[in-house]
Amino acid sequence: MSEQTIDLKKRRFLTQAKLEMEFKSLPSKTPVSEQTIDLKKRRFLTQATSVVGAVGVGFVAWPFISSWKPSARAKAAGAPVDVDISKLEAGQLVRVLWRKKPVWIFKRGAEANAALSSPELEALLADPNGSGNSKSQQPAYANNTHRTIEGNEDVAVIVGVCTHLGCSPTYRPEPGAADLGGESWKGGFYCPCHGSKFDLAGRVYAGVPAPTNLVIPPYHFVSDTLIRIGVDPAA
């Protein structure tokens, strides 16, 4: 051991001494040209570090970006829903699930349809024209008295979720229901959670906890008897 170790130590000592001597022999001020070279070197090193950093971020970010891609299940959850209404009769209501929310599709008879524009009913509603708080509760093409696509006023498509705290209101189509206002009740929906009332177009009554009309989802008629919920009509 001893000789080899001593030899190694000696060599290390000599190298260090040589370096110290070289350092001392340097001029006290580094010439400008060397400073410039040194600056360039530093800049190069900074850039190189940034590139390595960016590449590193790229590698780190990829798993996240790839996990943002919606899974097939997520796509299915937001997918449009087709509803066949060929057997739907006036007064009947069907429920489907779209984006995990209940959507009602129902047919209004001529009388119920006409009642929607009666001044007597509109006087009881908070925002009958959808121009106030409920402005964004329906697509532009359904911002009308019936809250439907023009030409299909007898078929309503409404998200069945109360705009107060999210209960699903009960369908109460019978006009004149004593527990809901008697003569003034033209048919609609009643939320048993805190007593909000909506008419047959999903418009909210004034003075109830629900702040806005019910939501009308995007939808269109694929044919006379098939409705697609989740997709706007072609422009």
Minimal distance in Å, beta carbon 214 to ligand FES? 10
Return the residue matching tokens 């995007």.
218
d(CA 61, CA 66): 9
Closer CB to ligand FES, residue 113 or residue 163? 163
Distances (CA, A) of 136 to 129, 152, 220: 12, 21, 18
Q: Which of 191, 201, 215, 229 binds ligand FES (CB under 6 A)?
A: 191
- C-alpha Rg value of the chain to the nearest Å: 37
Closer CB to ligand FES, residue 146 or residue 164? 164
Closer CB to ligand FES, residue 164 or residue 220? 164
In which element (H, E) is residue 75 found?
A: helix 72-77
- Write out the two tokens for 34: 């060397």
Give burial (CB, 10 Å; 0-12/13-18/19+) of 172: middle
Contact by Cβ (8 Å): 109, 174: no
Residue 81 makes contact with ligand FES by CB under 6 A: no
Minimal distance in Å, beta carbon 64 to ligand FES? 37
- Write out the two tokens for 54: 């960016």
Residue 193 makes contact with ligand FES by CB under 6 A: yes
Stretch of 4-12, 121-129, 188-196, 211-219 contacting ligand FES, by CB under 6 A: 188-196
Name which of residues 143 to 182 contact ligand FES (CB under 6 A): 162, 164-167
Minimal distance in Å, beta carbon 191 to ligand FES? 3
d(CA 148, CA 128): 14
Contact by Cβ (8 Å): 104, 158: yes
Residue 186 makes contact with ligand FES by CB under 6 A: no
Residue 102 makes contact with ligand FES by CB under 6 A: no
Contact map string, positions 32 to 51, toward ligand FES, x by CB under 6 A:
--------------------
Residues that bind ligand FES (CB under 6 A): 162, 164-167, 191, 193-196, 209-210
